[in-house]
Amino acid sequence: MRSMVRIGLISCVKLKQNSAAKAKDMYTSTLFKGMRYYIEHETERWYILSAKYGLLDPERTIEPYNKTLLDMNGFERLSWARTVLDVLKKELPPPNGSELVILAGEKYRENLIPQLKALGYSIVIPMEGLSQGRQLQFLNNYREGLVNADPEAKNVEVEHEMQKESPPPQLNPPERSLNENIILEFLQKYRQGHCDDCLSAILNITPRQQVNGIARLLESKKELYRRKSDCFKCHRHKICNHINGS
């Protein structure tokens, strides 16, 4: 019996490199990195839905740009979708035995999915209906090996446990975790002090103690500082997290 072929589609994001790069490396946000990790592990091949370039091979070198479907009107989005669909028809395998996994917002999906379904393709949208905070948690849980990438999941896959028992030798210091990046990007964006409780609620990082531990770690790395001040969100005077330089 022929196995299902899975093809991934993920949307572009605003944060980008400042110079030419391969499409897979152009987008620098935590959300895109999480989507890329998910799609690389869940599909046989994947493409990027770019507001400027249309359907992008992740290995193609492109220039940075400032364009999003959110700024387009309905006619422009429809025209974009038709262009993408024309290329997709040439790139995709036959619908029978194929499944499309889409990690993209509503504006990127609205005119594509009805046409793809009409062609007979099976569609999966793993993060449909999730807020951005929940999407980040979903992707973080997947990266950490939680069952089905469920944000509420508590068990760990056997394969993940086996990897933990025999970790590869670490030659370089580990990179920041996804949740560390989420907290830093949020603080860099808003440039205001937020307490651990509010960061936990806004970014959906639970339990709250996890935020406290991450914040203390980032403070030890001198990537943020903690001091008593009025929280920008709840306005209570307590220990808040501030990005360095703010």
| Annotated domain spans of the chain | 5-129, 178-243
| Burial label, 34 (beta-carbon count in 10 A; 0-12, 13-18, 19+) | buried
Separation of alpha carbons 206 and 229, rounded Å = 23
pLDDT at 212 over 90: no
Q: Is 67 left (phi over 0), alpha (psi -120 to 50) or beta?
A: beta
- pLDDT higher at 145 or 199: 199
Q: What is the mean pLDDT of residues 2-6?
A: 72
Token code pair at residue 165: 């028992």
Q: Residue 69 in contact with residue 80, Cβ under 8 Å?
A: yes
Helix, strand, coil abundance in the chain, percent, nearest 5: 45, 20, 35
Separation of alpha carbons 147 and 77, rounded Å = 36
Separation of alpha carbons 186 and 180, rounded Å = 10
pLDDT value of residue 4 = 76
Question: CA 105 → CA 9, 158, 224, distances in Å?
Answer: 11, 32, 31
pLDDT value of residue 3 = 61
pLDDT at 1 over 70: no
Kindly indicate the confidence band of residue 97, based on its pLDDT and cuts at 50, 70 and 90: confident
**Least confident window among 6-10, 39-43, 209-213:** 209-213
In words, the CATH class of domain 178-243 is mainly alpha
pLDDT value of residue 32 = 95
Q: What is the mean pLDDT of residues 103-122?
A: 93
pLDDT value of residue 206 = 80
Q: What is the mean pLDDT of residues 180-192?
A: 88
pTM of the model: 0.61
Q: Which amino acid is at 132?
A: Q
**Least confident window among 41-45, 55-59, 168-172, 191-195:** 168-172
pLDDT value of residue 84 = 96
Separation of alpha carbons 145 and 154, rounded Å = 10
The rounded percent of the chain whose pLDDT value lies above 90 is 49
pLDDT value of residue 92 = 92
pLDDT at 172 over 70: no
